[in-house]
Amino acid sequence: MGSGGLGFDFPVESAADGDGDGYHGSDDNCIGWTGRRGGLFLVGRTTAWTHGTVNAIKANIDITRISGNGEESNAFGKVIDTWVACNRPESEKFCAARDSGSLVFDSETADIVGLMFGSEIYTGEGYFMPFDVCLEDIEAVTGGKVIYPSKKA
């Protein structure tokens, strides 16, 4: 599988049933990539430093807002593709409320791979968008160009 804008490749294998019991439950790793290049980390306002893995299956999210008068509107005007950051056994939760806006990093390279924008209350799994999508939006809204810092020689 390709990177899907994440900056690293996913293997084809899945780790849906981590303990071989034929059931994907809370004692198993999240469906997705749990290999050495699948690691993520986040430094969140609520959870502080946590580790997780990226799910190899994208989540399609339709964020609907309901105003005070009951009118519904889609915040983005479309369904958005996101990635799911799953918990690792050594981390209680990957993210929690008030961690939105935290950068998500590749554990191996410390490259920014995404921006956390939501979490699942009970499991602590988080939703993040690829960082290149964030940069494209900044450029579209501002009319400017994002320039990456360069290394000094």
**13 alpha-carbon distance from chain centroid:** 19
Strand partners, 31: none
Indicate whether 18 pLDDT > 60.
no
pLDDT at 34 (0 to 100): 38
Residue corresponding to tokens 């983005």: 76
pLDDT at 4 (0 to 100): 40
Q: Write a three-state SS string for 96-146.
A: CCCCCCCEEEECCCCCEEEEEEEECCCCCCEEEEEHHHHHHHHHHHHCCCC
Confidence class for position 32, pLDDT limits 50, 70, 90: very low
**For residue 13, what are its two tokens?**
């294998």
pLDDT at 47 (0 to 100): 83
pLDDT-wise least confident of 2-11, 50-59, 87-96, 132-141: 2-11
Indicate whether 71 pLDDT > 60.
yes
DSSP code, position 63: -
The 10s digit of each residue's pLDDT in 83-120 is 888 887 766 788 888 888 999 988 888 888 889 988 88
Indicate whether 50 pLDDT > 60.
yes
Domains of the chain: 39-142 (2.40.10.10)
Confidence class for position 143, pLDDT limits 50, 70, 90: very high
pLDDT at 142 (0 to 100): 93
Taken in order 26, 47, 118, 32, is the CA torsion positive or negative? negative
Indicate whether 37 pLDDT > 80.
no
61/126: higher pLDDT:
126
Indicate whether 43 pLDDT > 70.
yes
